[in-house]
Structure 1
Amino acid sequence: MNPVVSQPGYGTRSVTLSDWQTSPWECFDDMKICLCGTFCPLILSAMIASDMDEFCLCGASMAMRTLYRTRYGIPGSLCSDWLWWSCFPSCAMCQLKRDIDKRKAMNAF
């Protein structure tokens, strides 16, 4: 009898490890996203939810960050997602939107 040494992944496709396309502190790389995240966070979070084909009345959330990170094999944990979303919500939201846009530009989204 062979022991199970790994858990099944998300869905049927294999996940390759990657990293965030930008750091959370690179807000000024895309001023449109930066300004939207600073002054209109609900609009930016709705854009993120739409990009991810999710329906969420309150827009983006820690759960979406975790889903996105898991889908693209980005290292992290629920604890780190919670900390980013709790302590630096605008930075975390802007990072997520920038990453989505960069992956779209690379046809990897």
Structure 2
Amino acid sequence: MMAVRNQPGIYAPSDFQTGVLDCGSDLKVCLFGCFCQPCLGCSIASDMNECFLCGTHMAIRSVYRTRYNISGSLCGDFVAMLCCRPCTLCQLKRDINCRKEQGIF
């Protein structure tokens, strides 16, 4: 008989795969976020099967963090969106793209 070492469905908290200021790692997403935040928000919401109006708000980041067990808090999400909304949205889109490439989105 084998011992269960990990409980199914429980994952250790992780971080976003890129930093908030890593805009240079994906220039297309960076330009998208700088010049058309509503469009980027709609793209993010569409990726997550959420209402297109939610894409640029703090809630979408919180939902994403919860879904992928990314460490953080509602307060941290609020501050990130308040201080640099374009960079925060770009970070979220880059993470979605990375997870799609890895097949875990």
Q: Judge same fold: TM > 0.5, yes or no.
A: yes
Paired-residue identity, %: 49
Tell me, yes or no, if the aligned pair for 1:15 and 1:73 is still in contact at 8 Å.
Answer: no
Q: Which runs of 5+ in 1 are unaligned?
A: 1-12
Deviation at 1:46, TM superposition (A): 0.4
Q: Which runs of 5+ in 2 are unaligned?
A: 1-7
Whether 2:100 is the aligned partner of 1:104: answer yes
Tell me, yes or no, if the aligned pair for 2:54 and 2:60 is still in contact at 8 Å.
Answer: no
1:33 to 4, 29, 37: 29
* TM-score, reference length from structure 2: 0.87
Choose between structure 1 and 2: higher helix proportion.
2
Partner of 2:39: 43
C-alpha RMSD of the superposition: 1.3
| Alpha-carbon displacement from aligned partner over 1:58-97 (angstroms, at most 9, x marks no partner) | 5331001001001111110000000001111001000000
* TM-score, reference length from structure 1: 0.84
Tell me, yes or no, if the aligned pair for 2:45 and 2:54 is still in contact at 8 Å.
Answer: no
Partner of 2:4: none
| Alpha-carbon displacement from aligned partner over 1:28-81 (angstroms, at most 9, x marks no partner) | 100000000000111111000000000133533100100100111111000000
2:67 to 71, 80, 84: 71
Report how many aligned residue pairs link the two structures.
97
Tell me, yes or no, if the aligned pair for 1:30 and 1:98 is still in contact at 8 Å.
Answer: yes
